[in-house]
Structure 1
Amino acid sequence: MIRIRRLTVAIAASLAALPAAAQSPKDADSLETVIVTGTRVVDRTVSESTSPIDIITPAALEATGTIELATALARVLPSLNFPRPAISDGTDAVKPAQLRGLAPDQVLVLVNGKRRHTTALINLNDSQGRGSSPVDLNAIPIAAIERVEVLRDGASAQYGSDAIAGVVNIVLKGSDKGGGLSARYGQFSAGDGEQYQLAGDAGFALGERGFLHVAGQAGHNDQTDRARPYIGAPGPAAPPYDKVVQRYGDPEIDQGAVSYNGEFGVGERASLYSFGMASNRDVLSNGFFRPAGDSRNIPAIYPNGFLPNIHNVSKDRSIVAGLRGVLGADWNYDVSYNYGYNKLSFDIENTLNRSLGPTSPTAFYAGSLEVTQNVANVDFTKPIAVGWLEYPITFAFGAERRDEKFNQSPGELGSYVDGDGPVNTPPGAQVFPGFKPEDAGHRDRSSWSVYADFEADLTDKLSAGVAGRYEDYSDFGTTTSGKFSARYAFTDAVALRGTVSSGFRAPSLQQQFFQSTATNFIGGVPFDVRTFAVDNPTAIALGAEPLKAEESTNYGLGLVLSPAEGLYVTIDAYRIDIDDRIILSENLIGPAVTAFLETRGIFGVTGGRYFTNAVDTKTTGVDVIGTYKWTFASGEVDWTVGYNYSKTKIERIAPNPPELTAGGLNLQRIGRVEQGRITIGAPRDKVLLGGVWKTGDWTFSGTATRYGEFSALNASPALDQTFGAKWTVDVSASYQLDRWSFTLGGDNIFDAYPDEFVFATSNGGQLPYPRNAPFGFNGAFVYGKVGYAWE
């Protein structure tokens, strides 16, 4: 996925200009920042890179006004989409982000250049990223970050699986002195969503040979609520007309995270290094309200109906340790071990199991999901002098062994049991039935890979690179990927870059083996839909097949311009073809499906779905970013303009399995709802306009962002809706007093909201806004921050 974004190199610098939209180029030095992502040349800078690299500083992240890393990145990168879905089960707790409109798990995340583990959650319901298990970016504390390098280019040949849309490399702070503390408080203008946070970091010298840098942050978010009273048809199963009984917005969150990054010299030519993180996130989110007369309620327990809650606790742990140094004259080596772990537990509260009758408990433990990753790497790099070249060729090669595990643990008996209640009553805890023993399992796989990489400045004007990688997986076989990139500088002011690469993404263990049942509202009607593992006999009877790896081909072409002092412009066009894309099938529902499941002993379930390689897609787009630094007597202003256009088209849908048309089912495995989510579910374009004005001890920043239109398709075309483009404006002012800093800011200060849903598709008018809105639906947010720093 080699996109011209390499040209983004200037972009990187450009993004520097927006503290609310990117990083500002410190004294025009951002283009000379040495990068570690997408290259193994030890002194390659942003301006020299053969790939488009965005460099995002901590100041840029913190200036966005958010405490979430994924939200901050979405506000500084035109091509990143991070909606805030609600009533989406575990996705409320672990939200996915998209780069260039592709799936969240088609982006590889590194920390200090080492592969980060994914989350245990698999996103299942009506959210962008449905069917993915990406990395949880919000488990990484912003206080620990030195910078973020975003490679918007395919890099499977360099890093392996997942690097189709690009690579996000989080570089941790590594100084041996200095640090800071900050306190932040904010609230939405609607009067809810109170947030507060403490954060800090500090560096320490380990004698004269090493350092240790530690960081941490802890905070609390109150929930937000934008639900409205029910206005649908009256009846015993309808909620009260005069009350807001539903909740719709961000969940309540308590979160804490700590990290360390250290290194110590061993002898004269080697260093031991290690870094790690630990975070806990406690999240309370909401389901759909069950009215008093609903068949899923027991009036003896809840005479006025009930709103069930999902209580998730996400525990995230990682540690990396290694040895790097120089062998002989100039062989650089790096040997490392990488461990990552995530566990997500589910407790269902304010609920009941209808099938247990009036004695049903009102809270259940519903089970947990766990993923574990163990990676061993050995890498070698050597500059090789070639007689006919003025500059040496950087030759790199290495090997990797990766072991992955996925565990699904069952809930307590009452969370899933089918008791002696009324016939056709959904069994299990309302809103989220517990995982059954037959759902549970312990799955694992291993893979190994080898790679080689050559990169060189062939002349003063021309540089190029070529890389190849071979991987062997224990569960689906082998794959090979390659990459070629080149950059030609016509002058110091004009450069052209291009890339061509092949890539892949291995099916995750969650996509192959996860099973559960959850309530989905489809056209306003509740269905209890079961997700089947692809090797489940029922899934096979519905046409499921073993998953294989996605395969991609990426093309990029870009132009980098610096026509005047302080002015940088990048224009990057790209195309990404993905074959055998892994997606979650349509929700297969209807009376015939219910009967089909009952003949197989599955009762109380009214729909099914499974993962499939049924789609080929083509994504085309362009990025345009420009930055300009204007210096005058009383200060300076950094201007940034960013634009992204990305369009995904479905090139092929595999023929419908005959099993879905037999026995009266008449179903489509990939219907118009899922097709719409892939092609028009996220905005095709996004514009960032921003500036940072520094004068004396004051810094003022402002960013205006335009999010393009997006659509939601329905099984009934009459219920389709397109949501118009919207602008949001973020501003902040900071004052520096010696070592103290004081900031007052506002996000979305003009209180913009997405277009409202038509009532027919929004659960009786209770849910006025689409859950896929790219900037959420909470309105204006005001915050203040106080910081103290030392050197």
Structure 2
Amino acid sequence: MKKTIIHAAVVATLAASYSTTAQSADENNKAEKGKKAETMIVTGTRVSGRTIEDTAVPVDLITSDIIEESGASEVGELLQKLAPSFNFSRTTVSDGTDIIRPATLRGLGPDQVLILVNGKRRHSQAWVNIQQTIGRGSAGTDINSIPVSAIEHIEVLRDGAAAQYGSDAIAGVINIILKGGGAGTTLSGKWGETKEGDGQVNQVSANSTINIGDTGFLNLTAEFRDRGATNRAGISNRKDRVIMRLGDSSSENKYLFFNGEAGIAYFFGGVSDRIGQSAGFYRFEDRADRNVPQVYSDGFLPLQNTTVKDTSLAFGVRDFIGESSWEYDLSAVYGNNEFGFAASNSLNASIAAEYVQNNPGATDAEIRANSGPTSADSGSIGFTQRTYNFDLNGAVDWGWYDDIYLATGLEYREESYGIKAGDLVSYSCGYTGDTNNPFPSVIDPSVAAACGMQGFPGYSPEIAASSQRERDNYAFYVDMETNLSENFLLGIAGRYEDYSDAGDATTGKISVRWDVTESFGLRGAVSTGFRAPSLAQRAFTTVFTDVDGTELSQTFHAPEGSVFASAYGVEQLEHESSENVSLGAVYSPGNGLSISLDAYQIDIEDRIVLGGGLNGQNADANGNPVVNQEALDFLNANGYNKGQFFSNAIDTETFGADLVLTYDWGTDDWGDFTFTWLTHYNRTEIKEINAPDGVLPETLFSQAQVDNVETGQPRQRLLLGLDWAINNWSTSLKVNRYGKVKTSFFTCQGLGIPTQNPDVCNGVLGIDPSPAVRSSAKWLADLEVRYDFDNGVKLTVGGNNITDEYPDKLPENAVHRFISDSPEFGNYIYPWESTPFGINGAFYYVKLDYSIQ
């Protein structure tokens, strides 16, 4: 990887605080707000004692009261509702992404935002988003593995920070601060369901602090949440009933977290265990390659059972060196994420096919008895990260206007990734253990029976063996801040990192803030960043069921350096590199009013993405056939329809802006009010597609993938908030506007179906197919009303999306409508690729809290 030159940068931002109302009398209200305004932050600066009023970086602060009053059960849902620059797209029928959703910041990818917990790097998730969802091809961080009830506050840095924190911080940083000393004890229960009567949520949590000595503490959190599935599938015209599951997957979630300090030592971490169930595409009884009618005479819906186990542990010591102002921080952080798959209500069609081939004339009863199990363990994926840090910060006097606050440190990180094989029947052709020797179908001997369990074929020992990867990296950074005058703040940061498998990178950043007057300031930024390819992107291997035209096909995901990827000249992934420029202004005239406006541009080169399915055959720009014989031979030898792989395929440009306005208004007779207006805009454009030789850019990265990157996330977000508190009553009204989105995966154009095909495109209902699926902008309102009984008991009644908004329905000529139901319409009513607020409609809940201070 080529070293980048440290660019001069200017970073200054307003730290926008989301104010909120207090929970008792007016006097307590005002005192509580004053305390919040002085909340110290740790994200984006290494100067001790910075508050949201004097920071030199763009930080949004989501306080504990706002978290409590949000009505959110999950961290992703919480940030989606309160941070307009954050997106947490919901999806369905997308394998593991049903339970680990992609979390993005400023319109970029899930793996381009860095997640911290108590200021320490959080480990990545093991699962890779391989289906047509937002963040396709990424392995971000599973933020829902952290319980909301354990969180004190969240800091969102809306600025590139790779020079400060390293890889993944291109879009920004989200720092989750756990509850600590003084939190008291809180018991909570929440019950709710959608307007349709499904998606029931039953949640209980407990948080308590135990004092250790005079200054130490141990904060403990336990949480259990059971979430029922939702289903918004339409009635299949072929079956005259609902046969699909389209909506949120069901999940059972258990959490145990802790955070503590004792003397100079600190420690935190936790475990989470989540079990989910989602569904695949319906298999009709006459699908020769995928069904055994002696087992499922009416067809079947394969189910995917997922388990997500997450473990984290951090330990460190922090103290001053002697009597000096220099403070050191020595820490070790361990993190592990394991993602398991199992199939149920399914079968391996090749097992019955093998039996029939070996036993001609077998009866239906004999075939059914020898068709194999209807459930199996498909295997699991694991990722482990160990991070060791030594940080040192203090002040030096160089005779300048002010002391120079200097921070420096070293980081060493070890990562490992691997796949565990599933049961034999989850991946094999029959009971032979072979994966590329199919048998004739029991329905039609001219058709080969699909190998592996339907819904999600398991991982074979060969795939598991080839996926084992390890690497390490080390980093050194220097970070400086000082005031050159009373009104001018300067910051400079530089970082060098070296990866054992991906080379090195150097990034830099300079920051300034000029307070023109006491109430008006200017700021701007230019910085460089990078992102190293994740181990998951290097090693992930699988065979999965994908959509090819209107048919289901077996797709092989090839790891870096494999025969299939190498056949197209992709031997090794390189770093992504980025440049970030920003310019902004802040106006704080007092009297509770604060306004800021920030604009930014992020240019990313060599962005790592997952390419489209290639079948070894292509055409050049003139339409002449081009055959990659090595790739074609590999697919044919293994019985795959097509293959895909990661590459540094695209260069992108992202432009955006954030407007933040908050106003606190206190009255003697009518209580206290807080008005919030937060607006976010971003536009990402693909400037170039870097396709391998012999592959057209539109073949490697189709229009469907382009739309996913450019228009799959809302370009506009708006949050209007009104909080009101008087005596023991308080209420919050949040109105979110999600901008329009456009995708084209399930269209003839996006799937590569020739539009002149009379049987599929123009022939459907005799009308032309829709070239893209658009969902217009939507306004969603959340309302919560609370009453504090003054004895530690608080009752909350609330609703999310109380106006019961849904994405626009699919046009009747959208290919979505007849996938898995061809040739009739049915199943899909709403799009599933990009639904920023889901397809559940209104959700109502009641919450009861009991607190002891």
Please say whether Structure 1 and Structure 2 have the same fold, judged by a TM-score greater than 0.5. Answer: yes
Could you say if the C-alpha distance between residues 24 and 165 of structure 1 is closer, same or farther in structure 2, counting changes exceeding 3 Å? farther
Gaps of 5+ in 2: 1-6, 24-28, 353-366, 431-438, 442-446, 619-626, 750-769, 820-824
Match of 2:346 in 1: 351
Secondary structure of 2:78's match? helix
Paired with 1:257 and 1:572, the residues of 2 have a C-alpha distance of 38
2:554 to 522, 528, 536: 528
Aligned AA for 1:770?
Answer: P
Q: Post-superposition shift, 1:5?
A: 8.3
The more displaced of 144-153 and 57-66 is 57-66
1:91 and 1:123 in contact (8 A); partners too:
yes
Q: 1:720 to 1:595 in 2, by over 3 A?
A: farther
The 1-side partners of 2:716 and 2:516 are apart by 30
For 1:235, the equivalent position in structure 2 comes to none
- Tell me if structure 2 keeps the 8 A contact 1:410–1:439: yes
TM-fit CA distance, 1:40: 0.8
> What is the CA-CA distance between 1:597 and the residue it aligns to?
5.8
In 1, Cα distance between the equivalents of 2:111 and 2:526?
A: 21
User: For the structure 1 residues 561 and 16, does the alpha-carbon distance in structure 2 shift closer, same or farther, using more than 3 Å as the test?
Assistant: farther
Greater share of strand: 1
Q: Distance in 2 between matches of 1:41 and 1:508?
A: 31
- In structure 1, the partner of 2:393 is 381
Structure 1 unaligned spans of 5+:
232-238, 266-270
- Which residue in 1 is equivalent to 2:404? 393
Question: Does 283-292 or 590-599 show the bigger shift?
Answer: 590-599
Shift of 1:26: 4.8
Question: How many Å separate the matches in 2 of 1:472 and 1:585?
Answer: 27
CA 1:17–1:294 in 2, change beyond 3 Å: closer, same or farther?
farther
1:87-116 CA-to-partner distances (Å, cap 9, x unmatched) read 000001111111111001100000111000
- The answer to whether residue 151 in structure 2 is matched with residue 145 in structure 1 is yes
Alpha carbons 1:4, 1:574 under 8 Å: kept? no
Retained in 1: the 8 A contact 2:21–2:672?
no
Residue in 2 that maps onto 1:546 = 572
Contact 1:78 1:688 in 2 (8 A): yes
2:494 corresponds to: 468
Equivalent of 2:134 in 128, 136, 149: 128
Other structure's SS at 1:48 match = coil
* Aligned residue runs from structure 1 range 429-578, under 5 A: 429-440=453-464, 441-578=467-604
TM-align CA RMSD = 2.1
- Is contact 1:392-1:456 (8 Å) kept? yes
The equivalent residue for 2:764 is none
Counterpart contact for 1:482–1:503, Cα < 8 Å: yes
Q: CA deviation at 1:360?
A: 2.4
- Do the aligned residues in 1 keep the contact of 2:654 with 2:683 (CA within 8 Å)? yes
Partner of 1:605: 640
- Preserved CA contact (<8 Å) 1:377 1:400: yes
1:363-407 deviation line (CA, Å, top 9, x unaligned): 111110000000110010111123232x21111111010000001
1:425–1:604 Cα contact (<8 Å) kept = no
Q: Which amino acid in 2 is paired with 1:736?
A: D
State yes or no: 1:650 paired with 2:682. Answer: no
- Kindly provide the CA deviation profile for residues 635-673 of structure 1, in whole angstroms up to 9, marking residues without a partner as x: 01101011111000111211x323437xxxx97212211
Equivalent residue for 1:767?
828
Answer yes or no: is the 8 Å Cα contact 1:594–1:606 preserved in 2: no
Verify: 1:224 aligned to 2:230, yes or no.
yes
Partner of residue 262, structure 1: 260
State the AA in 2 paired with 1:719: P
CA shift for structure 1 position 533: 0.5
Pair 1:13 & 2:32 matched: no
- The equivalent of 2:613 in structure 1 is 587
User: Secondary structure in 2 aligned to 1:599?
Assistant: helix
**Could you tell me which of 631, 654, 672 is aligned with 1:636?**
672
Matched with 2:763 is: none
Other-structure match for 1:731 = 783
CA distance in 2, matches of 1:776, 1:222: 15
Aligned residue type for 1:341: N
Contact 2:567 2:628 in 1 (8 A): no
Q: Aligned partners of 1:319, 1:278: CA distance in 2, in Å?
A: 9
| 1:399-424 residue CA offsets vs partner (Å, 9 max, x unmatched) | 01000000111111111112334343
Residue 716 of structure 1 is matched in structure 2 by 748
Paired AA for residue 282 in structure 2: F
> Contact 2:9/2:509 (CA < 8 Å) preserved in 1?
no
Residue type of the alignment partner of 1:737: F
Cα deviation 1:550-588 (Å, max 9, x = unaligned)? 011111111111134111111010111111000000122
The CA distance in 1 between the partners of 2:301 and 2:775, in whole Å, is: 28
Secondary structure of 2:53 counterpart: helix
**1:723, distance to aligned residue in structure 2 (A):** 1.2
Aligned to 1:253: 251
**8 A contact 2:254–2:272 mirrored in 1:** yes
CA distance in 1, matches of 2:400, 2:616: 71
Partner of 1:70: 76
Identify the range of structure 1 (625-634 vs 515-524) with the bigger mean alpha-carbon deviation: 515-524
Q: Which amino acid aligns with 1:428?
A: G
Shift in CA distance, 252/602, structure 1 to aligned 2, threshold 3 Å: farther
Contact 1:622 1:645 in 2 (8 A): yes
Task: Evaluate the alpha carbon distance shift between residue 325 and residue 300 of structure 1 in structure 2; reply closer, same or farther with a 3 A threshold.
Answer: same
**Cα-to-partner distance string for 1:663-700 (whole Å, 9 max, x where unaligned):** xxx97212211111111111100111110110110011
Equivalent in the alignment of 1:673: 704
TM-score by length of 1: 0.94
Question: Aligned pair in 2 of structure 1 residues 24, 144: CA closer, same or farther (>3 Å)?
Answer: farther
Q: Match of 1:351, SS?
A: coil
Cα separation, 1, equivalents of 2:266 and 2:158 = 28
Answer yes or no: is 1:210 the counterpart of 2:205: no
Percent identity reads 39
Residues 700/448 of structure 1: CA separation in 2 closer, same or farther (3 Å cut)? same
Match of 2:802 in 1: 749
Alignment equivalent of 2:732, drawn from 688, 701, 718: 701
- How far the C-alpha of 1:520 sits from its partner, in A, is 1.6
Where does residue 429 of structure 2 map in the other structure? 418
Greater C-alpha radius of gyration: 2
Which of these residues, 309, 315, 325, is aligned with residue 330 of structure 1?
325
What SS does the corresponding residue of 1:46 show, helix, strand or coil? Answer: coil
When the two structures are superposed, what TM-score results if normalisation uses the length of structure 2?
0.87
CA contact (8 A) 2:22 2:33 kept: no
The 8 Å contact of residues 5 and 53 in structure 1, kept in 2 or not, is answered as no
Residue 169 of structure 2 contacts residue 531 of structure 2 at CA under 8 Å; is this kept in 1?
yes
Of residues 354-363 and 415-424 in structure 1, the stretch that sits farther from structure 2 once superposed is: 415-424
Counterpart-to-counterpart distance in 2, 1:685 and 1:18: 30
Alpha carbons of structure 1 residues 110 and 16: separation in structure 2 relative to 1, 3 Å: farther
Q: Establish whether residue 32 from structure 1 lines up as the match of residue 38 from structure 2.
A: yes
> CA deviation digits over 1:285-305, x for unaligned, max 9?
111111111221110010111
Tell me if structure 1 keeps the 8 A contact 2:90–2:101.
Answer: yes
Equivalents in 1 of 2:617, 2:526: separation in Å? Answer: 49
